[in-house]
Amino acid sequence: MIDGMAVTDAHMHVPRLSTVSPAWMRWAADFGQDSGWQTVFGPDGDPVPARLDAMLEAEGVDTALLFAEYSPRTTGIQPVEDLLPLIARNPDRFRLVANVNPAVHADPAASACTARSGPVPGPCTRSTTCAPNVACR
Name the region of 67 (left: φ>0; alpha: ψ -120 to 50; beta: rest): beta
Contact at 8 Å (CB) between 8 and 61?
A: yes
Contact at 8 Å (CB) between 13 and 37?
A: no
Contact at 8 Å (CB) between 126 and 137?
A: yes
Mean pLDDT of 104-111: 72
More confident residue, 120 or 37: 37
Interval 56-88: pLDDT, tens: 999 999 999 999 887 777 777 888 899 999 999
CA 66 – CA 51 distance, rounded (Å): 15
Question: pTM here?
Answer: 0.73
Banded pLDDT at 131 (limits 50, 70, 90): very low
The 8-12 sheet, strands edge to edge: 8-12, 63-67, 94-97
Q: Is the pLDDT of residue 128 over 70?
A: no
Contact at 8 Å (CB) between 63 and 9?
A: yes
Q: CA angle, corner 125, sides to 108 and 114, nearest 5?
A: 45
